[in-house]
Amino acid sequence: MDWILEPWPWYVAGPLIALVMMLLMYFGKSFGVSSTMRTMCSMAGAGKISDFFKFDWKAQIWNIIFICGAIAGGFIAHNYLSAHHVVDLNPKTIASLKSIGIENAGSSFMPDSIFGIDALSDWKTWLFLIVGGLFVGFGSRYAGGCTSGHGISGLSNLQLPSLIAVIGFFIGGIIMTYFILPYIL
Partner 1 sequence: MKYIKFIVLGMFFGIILSKAEIISWYRIHEMFRFESFHMFGVIGSAVVVGIISIQIIKRTKAKNSLGEEFHYTDKKMSIKKYLLGGSIFGLGWAMIGACPGPMFILLGKGVASIVIVILSAILGTFIYGLVKNYRIFK
> Counting contacts by CB under 8 A, is residue 115 touching partner 1?
yes
Q: Do residues 24 and 35 touch, judged by C-beta distance below 8 A?
A: no
> Counting contacts by CB under 8 A, is residue 101 touching partner 1?
no
Rounded-to-integer distance, Cα 167 and Cα 172, Å:
9
Residues 154-173 that bind partner 1 (CB under 8 A): 154-162, 164-173
Q: Do residues 81 and 5 touch, judged by C-beta distance below 8 A?
A: yes
Binding mask 34-53 for partner 1 (x = CB under 8 A): x-xxx-xx----x--xx-xx
The single residue among 55, 59, 76, 101 that binds partner 1, judged by CB under 8 A, is: 76
Q: Do residues 63 and 35 touch, judged by C-beta distance below 8 A?
A: yes
> Counting contacts by CB under 8 A, is residue 83 touching partner 1?
no
Minimum CB separation of residue 1 from partner 1 in Å reads 13
> Counting contacts by CB under 8 A, is residue 59 touching partner 1?
no
| Helices and strands (H and E) in the chain: how many | 10, 0
